[in-house]
């Protein structure tokens, strides 16, 4: 030790807590008292994984992740049976964490925002005005060449000022985004289809099924020589996963990863979802379900969705040609939400700004499940579900669950501070009261989430 510097503070090898100078061992006192528990370690490991990006999952996302992974026993038993039929074992053939699975199977998911930006900027930002029209037309035959050429000429007539150029490029990049999304998605799906063909899996397809990127995840553990023999079971499992997607608040890719890697199924989107509902020749209804008070802006995604689903661009809204969007607050179901129905006609599609105004007006003051919450609230909810799971699933008492969590949690803000010496007393400590409140809340949420799944 260099003279004049304070001695280096030793930390617990298990939880990272600073050790007392009177403690010669590598573990702090709480960690010494905690016995290994495989059930509890699985729960805590999942909690640590979610705590890396709590804002991504949100309150409802965290709850459904714990629900599907540890409390939805029917789903877990069905996943085991499907693994046994397809892979010959009940355990996941490629066990991974959520983050590891996302990295390993990113090619089977939709294109990321960074990939879309790279595609758009390569076509718009770095292209000169002379050949940009030809590049855009090559991406989508629905764009009229002459109309686009006229737009270019009008823009160039404004002058070659930097401000005009930046404004023009910004509008072109916005128009290219949905086109780039469709092109990237089709390229990925084509790659997945070729992989299935190379493994001989198409021989067992006896009825039409939707081809999805997630099928590549499902086929990953299957060797080339095993494909023809397992083709029939492969498509039966794929069909059942499609059915589960409609029955559960999750999405197909998440279920495929849960089957292969043992990861928990996650909600498709914790903020909002949309669906296209045909109602005769005209109009067609686009329903947007908003679950989160955190949704500030849906105009960009609304415009891209209309372009992607209908091949149409939102135009000036005319109330005489098309009804105004309708908004309804829905209390039924596992989560209260706002439903906005947008009526679409080729002659009159509500603009994105118009739909955004409807959202702001109708969402004001609504009791969304996550209204008024912050990131730390989500972190505390993760801790609550983890410790309650230790109580309900691992057979731990209140004090054992508190001690186990504190021993494994590396974030001082989220520790209960359950001291060893206080655990020797017979009276109830405040941490136990808090845990019991969390148990009551989680049991209530479990009943609410399981209710729609009971036949």
pLDDT tens for 238-282 read: 889 888 887 887 777 889 999 999 999 988 666 667 777 765 555
Instruction: For the chain, give the longest Cα–Cα distance.
Output: 85
Q: Are 11 and 19 in contact (CB under 8 A)?
A: yes
Query: Is residue 283 a part of any domain in this protein?
Result: yes
Rounded CA-CA distance 238/255 in Å is 10
Query: Is residue 261 a part of any domain in this protein?
Result: no
Domain that holds residue 160: 113-186
Confidence (pLDDT) at 373:
78
Q: What mean pLDDT comes out for the span 305-318? A: 62
CB neighbour class for 445 (10 Å; exposed up to 12, middle 13-18, buried from 19): buried
Query: Is residue 406 a part of any domain in this protein?
Result: no
Domain boundary among 186, 207, 237: 186
- Name which residue leads in pLDDT, 372 or 121: 372
Would the pLDDT of 407 be above 70?
Answer: yes
Q: What mean pLDDT comes out for the span 288-312? A: 74
Domain boundary among 157, 186, 215: 186
Query: Is residue 128 a part of any domain in this protein?
Result: yes
Q: Pick the closest to residue 34 from 386, 427, 396, 388 (CA basis).
A: 396
Confidence (pLDDT) at 206:
57
Most confident region among 16-20, 30-34, 235-239, 265-269 by mean pLDDT: 235-239
Query: Is residue 119 a part of any domain in this protein?
Result: yes
Confidence (pLDDT) at 125:
47
Tell me the per-residue pLDDT of 74-106, one tens digit each, with 9 for 90 and over: 999 999 999 999 999 999 999 998 888 888 887
Q: Are 358 and 340 in contact (CB under 8 A)?
A: yes
Location of structure tokens 């998911």? 109
Query: Is residue 345 a part of any domain in this protein?
Result: yes
DSSP helix/strand/coil, 84: helix
Q: Are 211 and 194 in contact (CB under 8 A)?
A: no
What is the arrangement of strands in the sheet containing 272-278, beginning at the earlier edge strand? 272-278, 284-290, 337-344, 326-330
Query: Is residue 355 a part of any domain in this protein?
Result: yes
Domain boundary among 132, 162, 186: 186
Q: Pick the closest to residue 366 from 326, 341, 339 (CA basis).
A: 339
Rounded CA-CA distance 453/455 in Å is 6
Rounded CA-CA distance 300/351 in Å is 10
Rounded CA-CA distance 49/286 in Å is 35
Q: Are 339 and 288 in contact (CB under 8 A)?
A: yes
Confidence (pLDDT) at 61:
86
Confidence of residue 395 (pLDDT cuts 50, 70, 90): confident
Domain count, the chain: 2
Tokens encoding 208: 């039409």
Average pLDDT of the chain is 75
Tokens encoding 55: 């804002």
Whether residue 283 is preceded by a cis peptide bond, meaning omega within 30 degrees of 0, is yes
Query: Is residue 298 a part of any domain in this protein?
Result: yes
Rounded CA-CA distance 257/265 in Å is 8
């Amino acid at each position: 030790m260099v003279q004049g510097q304070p001695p280096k503070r030793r930390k617990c090898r298990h939880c990272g807590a600073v050790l007392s100078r009177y403690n010669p061992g590598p573990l702090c006192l709480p960690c010494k008292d905690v016995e290994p528990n495989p059930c509890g370690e699985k729960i805590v490991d999942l909690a640590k994984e979610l705590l890396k990006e709590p804002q991504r999952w949100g309150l409802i996302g965290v709850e459904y992740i714990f629900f599907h992974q540890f409390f939805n026993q029917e789903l877990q038993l069905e996943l085991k049976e499907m693994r046994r039929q397809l892979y010959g074992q009940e355990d996941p053939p490629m066990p991974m964490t959520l983050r590891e699975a996302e990295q390993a199977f990113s090619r089977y998911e939709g294109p990321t925002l960074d990939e879309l930006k790279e595609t758009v900027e390569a076509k718009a930002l770095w292209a000169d005005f002379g050949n940009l029209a030809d590049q855009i037309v090559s991406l989508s035959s629905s764009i009229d060449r002459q109309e686009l050429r006229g737009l270019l000429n009008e823009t160039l007539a404004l002058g070659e000022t930097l401000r005009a150029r930046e404004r023009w490029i910004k509008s072109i990049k916005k128009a290219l985004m949905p086109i780039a999304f469709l092109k990237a998605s089709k390229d990925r799906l084509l790659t997945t289809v070729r992989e299935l063909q190379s493994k001989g899996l198409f021989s067992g397809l006896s009825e039409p099924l939707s081809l999805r990127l997630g099928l590549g995840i499902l086929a990953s553990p299957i060797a080339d020589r095993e494909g023809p023999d397992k083709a029939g079971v492969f498509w039966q499992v794929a069909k059942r996963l499609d059915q589960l997607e409609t029955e559960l608040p999750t999405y197909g890719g998440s279920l495929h990863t849960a089957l292969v890697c043992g990861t928990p199924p996650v909600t498709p989107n914790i903020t909002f979802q949309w669906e296209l509902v045909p109602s005769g020749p005209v109009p067609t209804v686009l329903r947007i379900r908003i679950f989160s008070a955190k949704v500030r802006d849906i105009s960009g995604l609304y415009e891209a969705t209309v372009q992607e689903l209908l091949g149409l661009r939102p135009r000036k809204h005319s109330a005489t040609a098309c009804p105004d969007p309708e908004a309804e607050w829905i209390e039924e179901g596992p989560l209260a939400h706002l439903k906005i129905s947008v009526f679409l006609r080729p002659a009159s599609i509500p603009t994105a700004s118009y739909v955004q105004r409807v959202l702001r007006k109708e969402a004001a003051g609504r009791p969304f499940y996550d209204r008024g919450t912050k990131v730390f609230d989500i972190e505390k909810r993760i801790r609550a579900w983890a410790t309650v799971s230790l109580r309900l699933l691992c057979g731990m008492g209140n004090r054992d669950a508190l001690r186990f969590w504190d021993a494994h949690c590396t974030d001082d803000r989220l520790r209960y501070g359950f001291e060893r010496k206080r655990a020797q007393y017979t009276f109830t400590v405040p941490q136990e009261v808090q845990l019991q409140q969390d148990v009551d809340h989680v049991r209530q949420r479990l009943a609410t989430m399981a209710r729609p799944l009971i036949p």
